[in-house]
Structure 1
């Protein structure tokens, strides 16, 4: 069963392409558009799943703290985007988030919790900025924001669910392999943004 889940997870990430959800004309607005934004962008999906996966891999209290830190700091990045404050290399930062988080999972990195908060928070700024730059174009900024926070949360939950396999030796291998797949996808996203 673990091999089937790992294979399915790997195939989904390998089939991913860089998100175009925050390029061009922007989202149409509203709850559904906000919800779909993080889910339709494979670079966002990889990073959001990685946050939940790493939190689960690190165990308590990271399993719930990292998926809380990310959206809180993402709001700050979103405010920067709405205010028009430039953040350099947003697309590169988003792509790097999948690469680096994937590597941390693959290497079974267990830094102090405060360091994990900083890593996750730093990447949340890039993801939030991408969302925030589209908020002014949305029909309803409030419902759009609720949508993308819920979509982000669901991706974190997917990562947590997969990460819970790390409770067993075979599952730990599958989780680390999943991190490797996320890192490879991140590398692909990164080379597409440079």
Structure 2
């Protein structure tokens, strides 16, 4: 488990370094774009829930999935973001995002033990739609690179939060952690239905 944590930490450190790589200048457009990028996933409850559930899912799978699943989400979300910025249409993106919350919440509640390849495929597919919405809603005066770096870092941090919360819940009470995770995933899935039906 230590090596997995180290790998995930290395990936997180790399993602955190993206603003300096992508934006060598520190103009107003860059800083504004970065702040908008950081805030976009956090301000949307549907995005936040999906990304935290990805972290919980990765923790439940353990092993290589602990860092592969979140990494795949971040990378595929960046691809979706590029499509959104480029004006490429992705039909029913909001519908798929609501479905992603339902599916990921259900996976967590049921503690589905999927192979890593399937797990990364599922989260990667959803990530494209999340990224597309982020990219399509990028402010006109924002730096694209800084904005992308912002929402990638915010996403990675939300994944890390899901992993950290799962770890601490298990450590506090291994006996009741399964029930807590069931309720957590169930609540997320119900929220997803709320997004899907327009109740939330």
TM-score tier after normalising by the smaller chain length: 0.7 to 0.9
Q: Deviations over 1:80-135 (max 9, x none)?
A: 11222211100011111111000011111111111111110110010010011123
Structure 1: which 4+ aligned runs deviate by more than 4 Å? none
Taking structure 1 as the reference length, the TM-score comes to 0.80
Q: Which blocks of at least 5 consecutive residues in structure 1 are unaligned? A: 1-27
Secondary structure of 1:117's match?
helix
The aligned counterpart of 1:96 is 99
Tell me which of 43, 48, 59 is aligned to 2:46. Answer: 43
Alignment of 1:134-145 (within 5 A): 134-135=137-138, 137-145=140-148
136-145 or 77-86: bigger deviation? 136-145
Taking structure 2 as the reference length, the TM-score comes to 0.78
Q: How many residues align?
A: 166
Q: Which is greater in Rg?
A: 2
Q: Which blocks of at least 5 consecutive residues in structure 2 are unaligned? A: 1-30
The alignment yields a C-alpha RMSD, in angstroms, of: 1.7
**Cα distance in structure 1, aligned partners of 2:133 and 2:141:** 13
The aligned counterpart of 1:120 is 123
Are 1:187 and 2:186 matched, yes or no?
no
